Amino acid sequence: MNYHKFDVVIVGAGGAGLMSAMQLAHGASIAVISKLYPTRSHTGAAQGGVAAALGNQEEDHWKWHMFDTVKGGDYLVDQDAGEVLAREAIDAVYDLEHWGLPFNRTPDGKIDQRRFGGHSRNFGEGPVRRSCYAADRTGHMILQTMYQQSIKNQVRFFNEYMMLDLLMSDGQACGVVALCLRDGTIHTFHAKTVVLATGGYGRAWRITSNALACTGDGMAVAYRRGIPLEDMEMYQFHPTGLYKIGILLSEAARGEGAYLLNNEGERFCIRYAPTMQELAPRDMVSRFIVQEIAEGRGIDGKDYVYLSVAHLGKEKIDAKLPDITDFARNYLGVEPYYEPVPIQPTAHYAMGGIPTDIEGRVVTDEQNSVLPGLYAAGEVACVSVHGANRLGTNSLVDLIVFGRRAGKHIAAKWLPEAEFAPLPSDPDAYATEMVEGLLSRTTGETQENIRAELRDMMMEYVGVVRSEESLKNATAKLVELKERFGAIRLMDRTRTFNTELMEVIELGNLIECSEATIAGALARKESRGAHYRTDFEKRDDANFLSHTLAYRSETAGAPELRYKPVVITEFQPKERKY
């Protein structure tokens, strides 16, 4: 057996994983396991910025940021967590600055800040400049900065190791099992602490902004081990993906003054959201677009509208939006200096995930019982600061605030008392069986159609708009896909960098995440945030002001659902107006 032993194993080297590692680099023995080379993590694709009420450009307060987060999340946000997010964002951003992150600057040398959707001054009076940024490559800079610092601090990296299983014994997490992609060997990591920081699962949809690696591995692995997934039906579509491709054009464009146009050349957002206009939250702007298209005002009657940046002028475009305008040139052949860019909503962000408390500890039920030794942070987790809809630039804050808190809690509170729990007997049995099963099967269907049908199904039935009928269709299709997946066959049965093996395991994970998403959506008979039901168009606080917990069952398509109350401290639910 390939055996490794560390005090802490962090799975994932994106913003959340690296931020946790930075807190632990002095003292504990730690390993970061990542299926990608760390700087290829999806955090590197984040463009727009990271929100923090620094007040460098105009008056701002963390309380306003907290309010916007709660309101933006359609009141499904746990407000104790929302408070931590808004308060600690400020210190976490200064940490990044001190580690060398090259933020854009104001003329007097402070971190520059820009507008983003849903961020407002004085509890909703109008937009505020709150998002700190490094051109349109903020996430790239975050990753580079923290990866350099981690190397400097001698963090041990296991790159291109893919976690397949989570180990528990004596009611405590005690390690993970991973596949070394280079040679196909299985490795057991024995640990006092496991941190899951494996990111989101946007690849479940056909049109998505997410990188190929965003396949919900951490969520699926935990779900298979009996840990519930929280609020998975809350999946965000970003309004501005490149038409047919889904590649993101950051909200930073609209923050800098770009606008959306329908076939009549009308700025339709003004009709729906007179105050915030194009800067209303993403769930709403995505629905505005879908409605314009449904009513025949898509461009040339097709399923897209225009994003126009041309009026901003070449100089501003080149200084503030260089990368995303290049995407339009390279992928669509459109010149944004002069032409509007065709866009459509694109699957973007999981508000749901593995439930945690505000220290990043994984909790497993309605009473928030802590699972000792297991932490989660970043997009894989649901602490729940985003509730039913995340505001732009609030994810990078989530990574650095809760990655930081998890790391600090492990160092100060957990490790001083924790012991290694013994490994279960045959710790790698499950993972070995999975891999050997796939490598030895010689009959059955290969992956392409199952993958394509899953992604089409999620797009059609579990997209911006849903209904009882669409979700029942989705459930039936999922049951079929799960059965076909159970008999899947590989074409490549070698062990060295077998990317087909990796992709098939990822496909299995996407199916698990989709199951929890569909079941939660079917049961939530209301419209809230990103979850919009044509058959229940209103938010229903009397029955659904609560978090969904989906527990895996052996019956395909039918997880057990339970509900836990939302933490409300200051802001009572109100109707959202923008």
Ligand X SMILES: Cc1cc2nc3c(=O)[nH]c(=O)nc-3n(C[C@H](O)[C@H](O)[C@H](O)COP(=O)(O)OP(=O)(O)OC[C@H]3O[C@@H](n4cnc5c(N)ncnc54)[C@H](O)[C@@H]3O)c2cc1C
In this structure, the number of other CB atoms found within 10 A of the CB of residue 330 comes to 11
CB 509 within 8 A of CB 353: no
The token duo for 436 is: 């050997």
**The only residue of 139, 336, 360, 557 in contact with ligand X, by rule CB under 6 A:** 139
Of the listed pieces 70-78, 301-309, 378-386, 440-448, which binds ligand X according to CB under 6 A? 378-386
Q: Which is nearer to ligand X, 358 or 471 (CB)?
A: 358
**The only residue of 120, 198, 325, 548 in contact with ligand X, by rule CB under 6 A:** 198
Of the listed pieces 119-127, 191-199, 295-303, 408-416, which binds ligand X according to CB under 6 A? 191-199
Q: What is the spatial distance between Cα 460 and Cα 478, in angstroms, rounded to a whole number?
A: 13
Strand pairing category for 156-159 and 30-34: parallel
Q: Which is nearer to ligand X, 266 or 323 (CB)?
A: 323
CB 223 within 8 A of CB 512: yes
Q: Which is nearer to ligand X, 214 or 276 (CB)?
A: 214
**The only residue of 66, 197, 293, 324 in contact with ligand X, by rule CB under 6 A:** 197
329 catalytic, yes or no?
A: no
Site for ligand X in 142-181 (CB under 6 A): 162-163
The token duo for 67 is: 């309010």
CB 114 within 8 A of CB 312: no
304: CB partners within 8 A, 6+ apart: 243, 293, 298, 342, 343, 344
Of the listed pieces 43-51, 256-264, 295-303, 423-431, which binds ligand X according to CB under 6 A? 43-51
Q: Which is nearer to ligand X, 172 or 240 (CB)?
A: 240
Residue 296: CB minimum distance to ligand X, A: 30
**The only residue of 6, 10, 24, 42 in contact with ligand X, by rule CB under 6 A:** 42
Site for ligand X in 11-40 (CB under 6 A): 11-17, 33-36, 38
Q: Which is nearer to ligand X, 244 or 297 (CB)?
A: 244
Map residues 46-65 to x or -, x wherever contact with ligand X holds by CB under 6 A.
xxxxx---------------
Q: Which is nearer to ligand X, 35 or 477 (CB)?
A: 35
Output DSSP code: residue 299: G
Burial of 370 (0-12, 13-18, 19+ CB in 10 A): middle
Q: What is the spatial distance between Cα 570 and Cα 70, in angstroms, rounded to a whole number?
A: 10
Q: Which is nearer to ligand X, 378 or 529 (CB)?
A: 378
446: left (phi > 0), else alpha (psi -120 to 50), else beta?
A: beta
Residue 575: CB minimum distance to ligand X, A: 26
What residue type is 139 in one-letter code?
Answer: G
Site for ligand X in 217-256 (CB under 6 A): 217, 248, 250
Residue 405: CB minimum distance to ligand X, A: 14
CB 239 within 8 A of CB 338: no
Site for ligand X in 388-427 (CB under 6 A): 393-396, 399
Q: Which is nearer to ligand X, 239 or 557 (CB)?
A: 239
Q: What is the spatial distance between Cα 387 and Cα 528, in angstroms, rounded to a whole number?
A: 9
Residue 65: CB minimum distance to ligand X, A: 13
CB 462 within 8 A of CB 476: no
Residue carrying structure tokens 């940024």: 133
Of the listed pieces 62-70, 212-220, 468-476, 552-560, which binds ligand X according to CB under 6 A? 212-220
Output DSSP code: residue 247: -
Residue 355: CB minimum distance to ligand X, A: 15
Beta bridge partners of 338: none
Report helix, strand and coil shares of the chain as percent, to nearest 5: 40, 20, 40
Active-site pick, 40, 137, 206, 282: 282
**The only residue of 20, 23, 43, 325 in contact with ligand X, by rule CB under 6 A:** 43
CB 375 within 8 A of CB 362: yes
In this structure, the number of other CB atoms found within 10 A of the CB of residue 57 comes to 16
Site for ligand X in 332-371 (CB under 6 A): 349
Which residues make up the interface to ligand X (CB under 6 A)? 11-17, 33-36, 38, 41-43, 45-50, 138-139, 162-163, 197-200, 209-210, 213-214, 217, 248, 250, 349, 378-380, 393-396, 399
Q: Which residues are catalytic?
A: 282
